[in-house]
Amino acid sequence: CNTPFYQQYAQLHYTWFTAPMIFLEMGYIGLGLYFLFFVLCIRLTWRRLKSGEGDKLNCQIAILMAVLCMILMFYNSSLRVESAYMMYFVLALPFLRSNASAMTATTC
């Protein structure tokens, strides 16, 4: 925390937010790709919800979580700490498939 950039802008507390830190680490392209990740999660989950492939509850929760994550990018740093693991897990729920029927067919 002794770089000239930090010394000049430390009073802004940019480390408290996810978006500025991602911008500093990866630039505009990285920030755009990070935001695009959540947009794609919404789109793919919506498609899975409408086609009936995914569980309705998991799809709805994942869409809400993706919107929340886009808000949290600019609100706080929870996407950069341990709590983010739970958020990304919720985003993955619509894409998990139960292989119980496939496993019973192969074991018989």
For residue 1, what pLDDT is reported?
61
d(CA 84, CA 104): 35
d(CA 54, CA 95): 7
Going from the first residue of the chain to its last (108 residues), give the mean pLDDT of each consecutive group of 10, the final group possibly shorter: 74 78 88 95 94 91 95 85 91 80 52
Shortest CA distance to 40 belongs to which of 58, 60, 66? 66
For residue 98, what pLDDT is reported?
58
Q: How many CB atoms lie within 10 A of CB 3?
A: 9
